Chains A and B, each alone.
Chain A
Amino acid sequence: MTTAVSVKQLIKQAKSDNDFSGLLQHVPYAKFIGMQVESFGDELVFKLPANPNNIGNPVLPAIHGGVIAGFMEMSAIVQLMVLMQTDSVPKIVDFAIDYLRAGYHKDSFVECKITRQGRRVANVNINCWQTSDIY
């Protein structure tokens, strides 16, 4: 286990380097599913490379719906941390997901939009896609 690192410090470092992958390196679950992050200006795009360990439907094959959800939840957490610049990691109150199609065994991407940032709770809209034509 890594020793406790100040979250604020991590975010500060990530911002100055414009490299947010260090944040993910400190979260075992992010490494477990293999997620990555890239920044384009102020925008963060999260990537979940195709990984046979994430398969949940061997027939198609398709990514486990729970992995897609976990990937999206983690993306929202990082997006909020970057925006808030706080010392604590946001806790999820609730999470609702609509699955529009199967997540095939290939790279997936996530973008988050913070629709409201209050003092205690925030709302985040998360989109996950694989091919860029339609979500």
Chain B
Amino acid sequence: MPITAQIDLPDLATRFIGQLAHCQRLGLTVHHIETNKVELKLPYSTDLVGYPDTGVVHGGVITTLIDTACGCAVVCAIFEQFQSLEISPTLDLRVDYMRPAEPHKPIYGLAECYKLTSNIAFVRALAYQDDVEQPIAHAVATFMRISAEMVGDEFRQALLGQVDTQASAKDGQQS
């Protein structure tokens, strides 16, 4: 059922990230949004170091950044194309690490949902610091689309950023 409310994609993406406890702990923020593309920013933290001798962040953090950026791109792409709120679980993810991330600098995760079918979303992503042409990592992922009903009222309202009566009534009709 289409959602008729006027929603800005950056707001939707920000609220989506805000709902994920682990992403809050990492300090992820939405940096840039355009059609089918989402860019997230990960600030540097010594808590995330994987190589104590050099201060380089752990590969797992890059994977999490990329997975989140991809998932967020899928949510936004589905919303743009179908005016529907779905959360899609990751089916598979492959990350190539090209170079270590430089310590004390933020890392950007840029994901593009380049194909959306009725069941599957295909996404590619990059992680980089200063120059998108010199990426830290490159990734491809697929996500499974699940029905909008699976999202749950509470989460849907959190994504819509509406708890007012009008939105509740609309949500009530949907489920």
Which residues of A are at the interface with B, using a C-beta cutoff of 8 A?
1-2, 4, 26-33, 52-59, 63-67, 69-71, 73-74, 77, 89, 91-99, 102
Contacts and interface: CB of A to CB of B under 8 A. Distances in A.
Contacts of A2: 52
B92 A29 contact: no
Interface in B83-123: 87, 89-97, 100
A71 B152 CA distance: 28
Contact of A54 (B21, B97, B151): B21
Interface stretch (B1-9, B62-70, B163-171): B62-70
A63 B90 CA distance: 12
Please classify the interface of chain A as helix (H, G, I), strand (E, B), loop, or mixed, using the class held by over half of its residues. mixed
Given A26-B52, A53-B25, A55-B20, A65 B90 contact: yes
Contacts of B60: 29, 33, 66-67, 69-71, 73-74
Nearest to A93: B97
Contacts of B23: 56, 64
A52 B25 CA distance: 11
Given A53-B22, A55-B22, A66-B22, 20 more contacts: A27-B49, A27-B50, A28-B47, A28-B52, A32-B25, A32-B47, A32-B48, A54-B22, A57-B20, A59-B155, A66-B60, A69-B60, A69-B67, A70-B64, A89-B53, A94-B95, A94-B96, A96-B92, A97-B94, A99-B89
| Most chain A CB within a 10 A radius of its CB, from B20, B50, B90, B92 | B50
B19 A58 contact: yes
A94 B21 contact: no
B59 A95 contact: yes
Contacts, number: 137
Contacts of B71: 65
The 5 residue pairs across chains A and B that have the minimum distance between CB atoms: A70-B60, A66-B64, A29-B58, A96-B94, A66-B67
Contacts of B21: 52-56, 58
A1 to B, nearest CB: 7
| Most chain A CB within a 10 A radius of its CB, from B53, B58, B150 | B58
B162 interface: no
B22 A97 contact: no
A58 B155 contact: yes
14 contacts: A27-B58, A28-B47, A28-B49, A56-B68, A58-B21, A59-B155, A64-B20, A66-B22, A67-B22, A67-B64, A73-B60, A92-B59, A95-B95, A99-B91
